[in-house]
Amino acid sequence: MLGTVARKLRIFGFDTLYIKDICDNELLEIGIEQRRIILTCDKSLFKQAIKKGASGVLLKGVDENEDLVHVLSASGVYSINFDICRSRCSVCNGSLVKKKFSDVKKNTIPAGVILYQKEFFECVNCYNMYWDGNHFSRIRSLINNLNIRLRNSKERKSIETVDSVDCIH
């Protein structure tokens, strides 16, 4: 359910595991052992995670952008940048390394891309190739949009904090 959110977080540079078909206990174990933030739409799993001392964020799983804003702001991240050198492979979470143009296996890249693109990155695990194409423009515009929503969410939070301080007085 959260596969798209996981892929986007990887592209933004966050180390993100996405494991299908795993039982709750195993997932909680991995989350705690590796000090990960457990993202879930499952209320009971979220409650278990918190009870066991793990970090968790409960998502709605309806609107991926809303979920991204929620997980980022809940983790104290109010601004993100796009830097392909820090991105992770959207398929497998592997790190990306820059490839010399001469080392790129040309048969793995569409012919049209080879003509205008000279910078390529490769996943160290699955060898998936990445380059600055149309999909990067879409990612940049998504990031602009998310940053606006994150800024608004930060402002809302600071207003709520002021309100709660007022209540104490």
Is there binding between residue 91 and Zn ion (CB under 5 A)?
Answer: yes
Q: Cα(first)–Cα(last) distance of the chain, in Å?
A: 44
Among 30, 41, 77, 92, binds Zn ion (CB under 5 A): 92
Using the rule CB under 5 A, give the single segment among 48-56, 71-79, 123-131, 159-167 that binds Zn ion. 123-131
- Cβ–Cβ contacts within 10 Å for residue 56, how many? 21
Among 27, 59, 80, 89, binds Zn ion (CB under 5 A): 89
Round to whole Å and give the CA distance between 23 and 160: 37
By beta-carbon proximity to Zn ion, the closer residue of 85 and 126 is 126
The CA distances from residue 76 to 45, 88, 161, in Å, are 22, 20, 15
By beta-carbon proximity to Zn ion, the closer residue of 74 and 92 is 92
Q: Scan for tokens 């910078």, then name that residue.
A: 119
The residues binding Zn ion (CB under 5 A) are 89, 91-92, 94, 123, 125-126, 128
